[in-house]
Chains A and B, each alone.
Chain A
Amino acid sequence: DTEVTQTPKHLVMGMTNKKSLKCEQHMGHRAMYWYKQKAKKPPELMFVYSYEKLSINESVPSRFSPECPNSSLLNLHLHALQPEDSALYLCASSQGVQGSGANVLTFGAGSRLTVL
């Protein structure tokens, strides 16, 4: 299995809702990532987990809460989002962890989030 699977593909939520994005990989990768991408812009790094521990938080607002229940799963919990948080959220994984050299990322297809 060489894929990163993200669910749901599309999500519409109100500003008072609580929802979660899920990501799964079975490649034995030790690092997992969340990126946010707005239209016509590059992906922006949000969080990095290395060996199931949060290693990088790029000053992301607390309304985004990541969770790594085990080495194959990564969640992004969403609460009290704003319309400007509408974007494509991309999960990725890599065999190597931060600082270990060349990290080639395998991306999922993304979850398109719309906040009303």
Chain B
Amino acid sequence: SQQGEEDPQALSIQEGENATMNCSYKTSINNLQWYRQNSGRGLVHLILIRSNEREKHSGRLRVTLDTSKKSSSLLITASRAADTASYFCATSPAGKLIFGQGTELSVKP
């Protein structure tokens, strides 16, 4: 079953601009994670935010969590061409890591 919905499905920006991706989920969570996937490759864990946290930073990444709205956002600042990838949020209902539909980000040099 699908736990997370993400929008936009695709996002195209210029290098140096910021990229914002949103994720909504259905059930209550203990934490939410974000992963990146370069084309046809494995996923790489980016950041985990716990349900009692509202915001978390890691380098150029900023993640927010609003449990009242069951939503999270991932902001990538000062984007680079190397940030081109698909980004997935993931939650753990019943201990299984389930991924949202993903946002395909394209950063043009």
* Residues of A that sit less than 8 Å from B by CB: 4, 6, 33, 40-43, 45, 48, 56, 58, 88, 90, 92, 98-110, 112
- Our pick among B45, B50, B104 for the contact of A105 (Cβ within 8 Å) is B45
* Given A88-B40, A106-B45, 17 other A-B residues pairs in contact with their CB atoms under 8 A: A4-B42, A42-B99, A56-B96, A90-B43, A92-B42, A92-B43, A98-B95, A99-B95, A100-B95, A102-B30, A102-B48, A102-B50, A103-B95, A107-B43, A109-B41, A110-B42, A112-B40
Interface residues of B (CB under 8 A from A): 30-31, 33, 35, 40-45, 48, 50, 88, 92, 94-102, 104
Interchain pairs with CB closer than 8 A, number: 58
Residues of B within 8 A of A102 (CB): 30-31, 33, 48, 50, 92
Q: Are B42 and A90 in contact (CB under 8 A)?
A: yes
Residues of B within 8 A of A58 (CB): 96
Question: How far apart are the CA atoms of A109 and B45 in the complex, in Å?
Answer: 13
12 contacts between A and B (CB under 8 A): A40-B104, A43-B43, A45-B96, A45-B98, A48-B96, A56-B96, A88-B40, A90-B43, A92-B42, A102-B50, A107-B43, A112-B40
